[in-house]
Amino acid sequence: MIPLTKDNVNHPVHYMAGGIECIDAIEAATTGLVGGQAYNTGAAIKYLWRWSRKNGIEDLQKARWYIDRLITDLAGESNDKSV
């Protein structure tokens, strides 16, 4: 059960929506994914989840960045530009 008091460390308000905590949605959405695919999917969800309650357009841009990395990975392209 999530406490009703404000807790910016364990249950930040900007990660709650409709009685669901973002981390729970991320864990469900990334089940079966591994490595970068799991991380990039989770990060994109995190920024999409909170954009209207925290950093607006900046969070949407961050979500797009992680989605672009995921697409690049799935397309078989290298994300490492130094190689």
Q: pTM, whole model, 2 decimals?
A: 0.76
List, for residues 15-59, the tens digit of each pLDDT value.
Answer: 776 778 999 999 999 999 999 999 999 999 999 999 998 999 999
**What is the phi/psi pair of residue 3, to 5°?**
-65, 155
| Structural domain boundaries enclosing 59 | 21-74
SS3 string of 47-58? HHHHCCCCCCHH
For the chain, how many structural domains are there in total?
A: 1
Residue 40 domain flag: yes
pLDDT number for residue 83: 42
DSSP 11: B
Residue 4 domain flag: no
Residue 14 domain flag: no
Residue 8 domain flag: no
Residue 45 domain flag: yes
